[in-house]
Amino acid sequence: MSEVKACPPAVGGPIDLRSLGPRALFEEIVEHLGEKPFRARQVASWLHKRCAVSFDEMTDLSLDLRQKLAAHYRLDTLDVNSVLRSADGSLKLVLGTVDGHLIEVVYIPEWRVRDDGKDPLKRPPDRSTLCVSTQVGCAMGCAFCRTATMGLVRNLTVGEMVDQVYRACAWLGTEAGRPISNLVFMGMGEPLANYENLKGALNLLLSPEGLNFSHRHVTVSTCGLVPVLERLGKETAVKVAISLTGTTDAVRDELMPINRRWPLSELLNACRRLPLKRGRRITFEYVLLADRTDSLEDADRLAKLLSGLPAKVNLISYNESPGLAFRSPTDERIEAFRERLAEKNLTVVVRRSRGRDIGAACGQLASKE
C-alpha cells in the first residue's frame, strides 16, 4: 500500500519564517539578506524561544533588517479567537489562521492529590499538557469523532503547529504558574497524514534552540497509517499512541475506515517492529462505546491482540457529542472492562475525561468556520 499523501500547504507566496528551523533560517538570511550569522540566531530566538508575533517585536534588530524581513518573508501568527474555561480547569483555545480557518487546542492542567484543604484550581498545576492539532478537520472518517464530521479542509503548516504551542504559552503566561510540560498531538486531524510538516514541527519543539521539550514528554497519536507509523518510529524519538477502538476487523472497519486499508494484523505487526527506546511502551487508546466496544469479550480479545507487545492501555469513556448516535457506558461497565484487562496482566488506566463541558474532551473538537 502507498502512503497517504498530504494535501498542499495553506498559503502560497513568501516563506513563513516560523516554519523554518534555525539552520534553514540561517541559510535563508545569509543568502537573501546578506546579514551576519549572529543575526540569524537572534531571529531564531525571537521566533522559537520568545514566540514573537511580528517583526516589530524584534527590537534588538535594526529597523532596516526588520523591514527587509517583512518585505521578503511572512510571519504567520495564529489569532486567539476565543478561550473557553472548563469547571475542571481545562482550557480550549480557538485559534484563527491567516486564511480564516479555526482550529482548537486544549490545555489540560493536572494536580496531584494533596490534603492541604486548598482548592487545587487555585494552585499551579503539577503537570500540564497541551493537545495540539495537525489539520483543519480530518479525512479519516472515524464514526465516533466530531472532527470527522468536518471532513478535511487542509493540512496545518509547520509554523501553524508550533505556533499553537507558542500562543498557548503566551496566554498561559498570565494564567498559570508553570509552563506546559507535555505535548500530545491528539487534537484535530490525523498527525501522520501530515507527516512531513509534523516532523518539522517536532524538530523545532524538541530543539535546544526552540522550547527544548524532551522527547519523553511528547506523544504522537495515530489511527493506524501503517507505512508512516514505521517512519515515525525510525525518524523520531517521541512516544507513540495508537487509537484502537475495536477488537475485530468487522467492528473497526465500521468505526474506523482506515482499518479497511490497514487491518488490525498489519497495524499490530507494525507496532511490533517499532524501534522503542529501552523501557518505553506503546500506548493503546481504546474508546468504550456502550454496547459496541465495552463487553468483557472485547476485553478478552484486546488482551489477546496486545499479547507480547510492550503495551499500556488507556481506556476512554466515550464523550457524547451532538449528532453522533453513540453513548457512554456506565461506570460499572468501565470498571469491569478495566478489571478484566488487569487480570490479563495488562497495564491499564481509565483516562478521566477533561473539558467535556466546553466540548474539549477526546473526540469533541470541531470548530465551526
d(CA 198, CA 161) in angstroms, rounded, equals 8
Q: Over the Cα atoms of the chain, what is R_g?
A: 21
Q: How far apart are CA 132 and CA 86, in angstroms?
A: 18
Query: What CA–CA distance (Å, rounded) separates 56 from 63?
Result: 8
DSSP secondary structure of 321-363: -TT----PPPHHHHHHHHHHHHHTT-EEEEEPP--GGGT-STT
Nearest residue to 363 via CA among 327, 326, 332, 320: 320
CA distances to 5, 25, 57, 98 from 8, in Å: 9, 22, 30, 16
- At 349, give phi and psi (nearest 5°): -130, 135
DSSP state of 99: T
- What is the Cα 213 distance to its own chain's centre? 14
Catalytic (active-site) positions: 104, 362
Amino acid at 161: M
How many CA atoms within 13 Å lie on the side-chain side of 307? 8
Q: Which amino acid is at 38?
A: F
